[in-house]
Amino acid sequence: MAGRRAAQVSGAPRIAVASLMFEANTFAPGRTRMDAFESTTFASGADVLEAGQGLDSVAGAVAIAREAGAQVIPTTSAGALSGPILAAGVYPRLRDRLLDGLASHRGEVDGIYVQLHGAMVADDEDDVEGDLLEQIAALMGVPVAASFDLHCHFTARMAAATPLLAGYHTLPHVDMVSTGERAMRLLLAELEGAQARLAWQKIPMITSAEGQDTNQPPIREVMDRIGEIVNEPHVLDASLFMTQPWLDVPDLGWSAVVVTAGEGGLAEQRAAELAQMAWDRRTQVRAPKVPISEALQRAGCTAPDPTQGPVVFGDGADSVSAGATGDGVEVLAGLLAASLTGRAQVIVTDGEASKECATAGVGADVTLTVGGSLAPEFHGQIGVTGTVVKLTDGRFTSLYPPSPVDLGATAVVRVGDHLHVVIVERPASQLDYQLYEHVGLDPQDAHIVVTKSAGGYRAFYEPIARECIDVDTRGPSDSRLDRMPFRRADRPLWPLDPDTAWRPAAN
């Protein structure tokens, strides 16, 4: 591969480590600005290794490097909660910071490992990670390995920049650490002279996360096959990138990627096979949703029973961890109209309402208008009358992903006997239940818990839930992709074009 040093390293290799994590949603209104990064995980030097609290891909990569006797040189990391695309000028600043951190070790390192999400889009760059990998490889002139989220929007530029690429194998994502281990093993193999080659197949399909559970058919079948392929002779790694679907960019679609050592058509054959397997299962990757009225009926059939756990409503179309804004109130409207028999709890983003509560104080009765404050093209407003029962500064540590959180003014308003509405100033990722615990609302003894997440919430909630129900709502991360206003994505693309015909071709 042009520009990539193939020489073997003698002695203990020196490996620079960097990280830049962000998942864009081009349908979410507004722009993500620099302060979203600075206020969360802007680290340099040794702090880069601590930023993920040992639970991210950096941790896995570093552990494997050290096991192999390599010297690890942490440089910079940055990340932000999923959201709208980056405003013009933000990506160049993040890129320059990352490249500057590496440049000071130019000529001193044998390889680079970088932790990326893979679905970062900016006003000034559609393919952030492709551009970044190109620039890192050109600047440093040594092999570059990267780990990605399973929702990476894989591109030809990434494939051309380096073959040393590995993505998560799980949804819900629970293999961040082992993905970092895999990426580092690719790098170490390359430094030992593997001459890795990568083959990939773009698959003209997109699906919502709710149907991508890797523990269930049909995706489990493809993942099982990946497990067999990576154990074959000469195969170094394989990934199925199911792409962030709420990205209106050219060349959108799933990708199958296989990395082998040396020449030969094995990588191409296996990538084509995985792509065909995924394509053949496209109609089975379903995101069954039920109307809120039906969800309430199902939850209401049984009286609240703390020993059985809560009924969890997934509001996937307003999934903050998929870049939506968390200001949808369709489920809240349903709860307000329902005859609740036990505690129900829901989170909504509304900066003005949360500040009104802070001004009113604990114990005050308030009448608020909430909803649609950030994405009015998707969400309406609704009136909420209740009592402020808790106020916080919205600061705590989330477990999934592991990071410090700052939601600003946060209030809990109790409506009637049972409904608790958590109002946050800024969008809150709801994959785990740390926010509910932070305000004293333990989900385990609630009757109904709402989480604005498209499937990813199941890692935390399924073990405690009596039932998880995905509710049919509208929003920037709607699982009904045919309802979304795609304009730039290459066509045909299933399911936007239901009659799409396709078969793998040589790449």
In whole angstroms, the minimum distance from the beta carbon of 226 to Zn ion comes to 17
CA–CA distance, 473 with 273 (Å, rounded to integer): 36
Number of residues located near Zn ion, criterion CB under 5 A: 2
Question: Quick one: 74 or 83, whose CB is closer to Zn ion?
Answer: 83
Residue of the chain from 125, 129, 134, 149 that contacts Zn ion (CB under 5 A): 149
Residue placing its CB nearer to Zn ion in the complex, 311 or 317: 317
If phi over 0 gives left and psi between -120 and 50 gives alpha, with beta otherwise, what is residue 102?
Answer: alpha
How far is the C-alpha of 493 from the C-alpha of 218, rounded, in Å? Answer: 20
Least distance from Zn ion to the Cβ atom of residue 21, Å: 11
Residue of 151, 202, 379, 426 that binds Zn ion (CB under 5 A): 151
Min dist. Cβ of residue 24 to Zn ion (A): 12
Q: How far is the CB of 206 from Zn ion (least distance, A)?
A: 14
Choose one: 142-150, 331-339, 408-416, 422-430; the region binding Zn ion (CB under 5 A): 142-150
Shortest CB 335 distance to Zn ion, Å: 28
Q: Which is nearer to Zn ion, 165 or 299 (CB)?
A: 165
Given the rule CB under 5 A, which of 31-39, 141-149, 271-279, 412-420 is the region that contacts Zn ion? 141-149
As measured in angstroms, the least distance from the Cβ of 53 to Zn ion is 18
Strand order in the sheet with 344-349: 365-370, 382-392, 410-415, 419-424, 344-349, 448-451, 311-314, 467-470
Handedness of CA 85, 356, 400, 53 (dihedral sign): positive
| Span interacting with Zn ion, options 35-43, 68-76, 150-158, 487-495, rule CB under 5 A | 150-158
Provide, rounded to whole angstroms, the least separation between the CB of residue 208 and Zn ion.
12
Per CB under 5 A, the segment of 143-151, 196-204, 267-275, 346-354 that binds Zn ion is: 143-151
**Complex with Zn ion: residue 82 or 325, whichever CB lies closer:** 82
Rg (CA), the chain: 23
Could you tell me the two tokens for 439? 């305000």
Distances (CA, A) of 413 to 182, 190, 315, 367, 370: 46, 56, 20, 10, 12
Residues within window 74-133 making contact with Zn ion, judged by CB under 5 A: none
Q: Pick between residue 86 and residue 322 the one whose CB is nearest to Zn ion.
A: 322
Q: Rounded distance, CA 10 to CA 456, Å?
A: 43
Q: What's at 393, amino acid-wise?
A: D
Could you tell me whether strands 235-241 and 254-261 are parallel, antiparallel, or unpaired per DSSP bridges? antiparallel
Q: How far is the CB of 407 from Zn ion (least distance, A)?
A: 21
Q: Is 166 or 295 the residue whose CB approaches Zn ion more closely?
A: 166
- From 147-155, 291-299, 317-325, 330-338, give the range in contact with Zn ion by CB under 5 A: 147-155
Stretch touching Zn ion by CB under 5 A, among 107-115, 146-154, 224-232, 481-489: 146-154
- Closest residue by Cα to residue 85 from 131, 120, 137: 120
Taking the complex as a whole, how short is the minimal distance between the CB of residue 261 and Zn ion, in angstroms? 28
Considering the complex, state which of residue 149 and residue 425 has its C-beta at the smaller distance from Zn ion. Answer: 149
Residue 56 contacts Zn ion per CB under 5 A: no
d(CA 11, CA 33): 43
Q: How far apart are CB 151 and Zn ion at their closest, in Å?
A: 4
Q: Which stretch binds Zn ion (CB under 5 A): 148-156, 216-224, 322-330, 488-496?
A: 148-156
Other beta carbons within 10 Å of 213? 18
Cβ contact 183:146 at 8 Å: yes
- Tell me which residue has its CB nearest to Zn ion: 151
Cβ contact 114:78 at 8 Å? no
Cα 354 to Cα 376, 378, 413, distances in angstroms: 18, 21, 10
Residues 6+ apart with CB under 8 A from 471: 289, 290, 291, 292, 295, 313, 314, 315, 316, 330, 331
- Residue number with CB closer to Zn ion (163 or 245): 245
> For the sheet containing 254-261, what is the strand order?
196-203, 254-261, 235-241
Q: Shortest approach of Zn ion to residue 173 CB, angstroms? A: 6
φ, ψ of residue 441 to 5 degrees: the values are -110, 85
Nearer to Zn ion, 74 or 130 (CB): 130
Please identify, among the stretches 94-102, 145-153, 194-202, 479-487, the one whose residues bind Zn ion according to the rule CB under 5 A: 145-153
Of 216 and 385, which CB lies nearer to Zn ion in the complex structure? Answer: 216
HEC string of 21-66 equals: ECEECCCCCCCECHHHHHCCCCEECCHHHHCCCCCCHHHHHHHHHH
Residue ranges in contact with Zn ion by CB under 5 A = 149, 151
